[in-house]
Structure formats: C-alpha cells, structure tokens
C-alpha cells in the first residue's frame, strides 16, 4: 500500500509517495507538520547537525515522517536545479561573510562581479553578506543576473539585498551540490573554513574528473600563497599525496582586473555545462 501526496515546487509537481510497512492494510498518512520534521533530538543525535538528524534518525518515529523527509530532500534538489538551469553562463563567488564594505577584498569582489556581469555571466553566491554580498552588488549595479543560494539557519543568515533571483535551502549538503554544480568559473576570495571547504570540494571534483576542468581563480596572493606553499612542500614533496599537475588546477591573482583578464582568456573556450543532468 502507498499513500500519495503532490507537492508543487518550482515549475513542476512532485508526487510524494509514502509507503507503509504494513502492506496488507490501507492507512491514510497525513503530511507531517513543520515542527515534526524539525523537532529537537535527544541522545547521540543531539551532537549531529540538524540535516543528519533528518537523514539518520529511525527510532520510534512513524515511517511516514522518515519517508517525508526523503521527499523533502528530493524537492529541494529539483528546485535548486530549476533555478540553475536558467543561467547558461555563470560564475560562482566564495569568500568571508565577515568582510566589510571598507575591506579591500570586499571592494575587489564587487568590482569583479560588475566586470563579469557586463561580460554576460550570471553571478552566483551563497546569498549572504561580505564577499558574497559584494559580488551580488557588483552584478546588480551592472544590470546583470545576481543569484543567491541561501541557507536557513537557527540564527538566520540574512539574504543580501542585491540578488535578483534566490533560493533558500534547509539542507547544507544540497546547497553545496548546487554551488558546486552552478557555474563555469569558480572564484575564491579570502575566507574561513566554509570557503576552504568549498575550494577543496571543487578542486577534488576537477581532479577526479567528476566535473570538467574549469577556471578556478584564487584572489589574494597574501592569503593563498602560504597554503599553496604547504601543498607543494608537504603534500607533493614530502608525502607525495598529490601530483605536480594538481598544482595547475587553480590560478592565483591579486586583483579584480587580473582575475578578469585570466577569465577572459577562457571565456571563448568555455562551453556552458548542461544543467539539467548530473552524474
């Protein structure tokens, strides 16, 4: 037996099928309430992030709630891909959300967002402030497409006011997939753990051939060169855990103009990726 619900998301409707463990009896299962999906957890699960609670918790919960969570995840993936498929040529910016308007890298991010938007790139960010807001601001001022892929947090991350299109995700891992799948150019300004996490994610996907090789631009030599020096001395020369060619997967620049010139050398050779399929 199964019970079906239809949830409309984006341009299509998703039929949510909730299966009962008792196949001999028909039981109507109502869609769970928001507070039931996101209720607090006890025990070991309390130490895990909320999205892991929703994926891993079994216990005494009704099987319908677990099934509903799975379909909510599917719905977020569908909605995210529908947003991205609208932009055939895009550049994604990463960097610190703590950067202020008088910060050098905030200003460089705004400038680069403006220049790339003028070249026809949609500018995609995580939708927050700092470097992300600066890039969106530049695209907005250029009259281009300015996109924010935001995340819903207990202490809400505020969507910056310079986006012309946005989507807010409840699950971090889905948002990461969207940011990884979004663009033909990836640009990293100085940032914290989140920026480094996104950098290693994209470099790994390119290194392993899971996505085609695309421009990966690191802006800010003072910030990035010590890390790259560690790559060379520790990973390559001491432990031999990467190859020499891996150090060529990214390019370091020190200004918006320099990044823009580097990206322009690739622009005529960049083929927009098909954004309706993912391996």
Report how far apart, in Å, the C-alpha atoms of 170 and of each of 51, 82, 134, 155, 265 are. Answer: 8, 16, 24, 13, 37
Phi/psi zone of residue 44: left (φ > 0), alpha (ψ -120 to 50 degrees), beta?
alpha
Tokens 């909730």 found at: 18
- Residue 218 contacts residue 131 (beta carbons within 8 Å): no
pLDDT tens for each residue of 100-120: 999 999 999 999 999 999 999
pTM of the model: 0.77
Looking at per-residue confidence, does 69 or 143 come out higher?
143
- In CATH, 88-267 is 3.40.50.450: yes
Looking at every residue in the chain, the average pLDDT score rounds to 81
- Residue 172 contacts residue 151 (beta carbons within 8 Å): yes
Task: Tell me the C-alpha distance between 82 and 91, whole Å.
Answer: 17
| Domain regions of the chain by residue span | 2-81, 88-267
pLDDT tens for each residue of 35-90: 444 444 444 444 445 555 545 544 445 666 778 888 999 999 999 999 999 998 99
3-state secondary structure (DSSP) of residue 191? coil
pLDDT for the residue numbered 50: 54
Q: Is the pLDDT of residue 268 over 70?
A: no
Tokens 């421009």 found at: 215
């Amino acid at each position: 037996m199964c019970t079906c619900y239809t949830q409309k998301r984006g341009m299509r409707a998703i039929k949510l099928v909730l299966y009962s463990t008792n196949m001999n009896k028909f039981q109507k299962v109502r869609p769970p309430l928001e507070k039931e999906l996101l209720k607090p957890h006890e025990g070991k699960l309390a130490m895990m992030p909320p999205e892991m609670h929703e994926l891993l918790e079994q216990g005494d919960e009704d099987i319908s709630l677990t099934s509903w969570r799975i379909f909510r995840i599917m719905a977020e993936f569908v909605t995210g891909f529908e947003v991205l498929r609208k932009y055939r040529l895009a550049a994604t910016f990463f960097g610190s959300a703590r950067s202020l308007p008088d910060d050098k890298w905030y200003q460089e991010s705004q400038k680069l967002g403006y220049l790339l938007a003028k070249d026809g790139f949609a500018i995609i960010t995580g939708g927050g402030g700092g470097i992300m807001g600066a890039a969106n601001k530049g695209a907005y001022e250029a009259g281009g497409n300015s996109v924010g892929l935001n995340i819903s947090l207990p202490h809400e991350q505020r969507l910056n006011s310079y986006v012309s299109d946005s989507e807010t995700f409840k699950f971090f891992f889905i948002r990461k997939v969207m940011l990884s799948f979004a663009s033909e150019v990836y640009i990293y300004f100085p940032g914290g753990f989140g920026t480094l996490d996104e950098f290693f994610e994209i470099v790994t996907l390119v290194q392993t051939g899971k996505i085609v090789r695309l421009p990966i631009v690191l802006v800010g030599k003072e910030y990035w060169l010590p890390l790259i020096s560690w790559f060379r001395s520790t990973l390559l020369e001491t432990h031999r855990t990467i190859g020499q060619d891996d150090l060529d997967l990214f390019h370091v620049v020190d200004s918006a103009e320099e990044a823009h010139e580097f990206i322009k050398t690739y622009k005529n050779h960049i083929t927009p990726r098909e954004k309706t399929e993912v391996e």
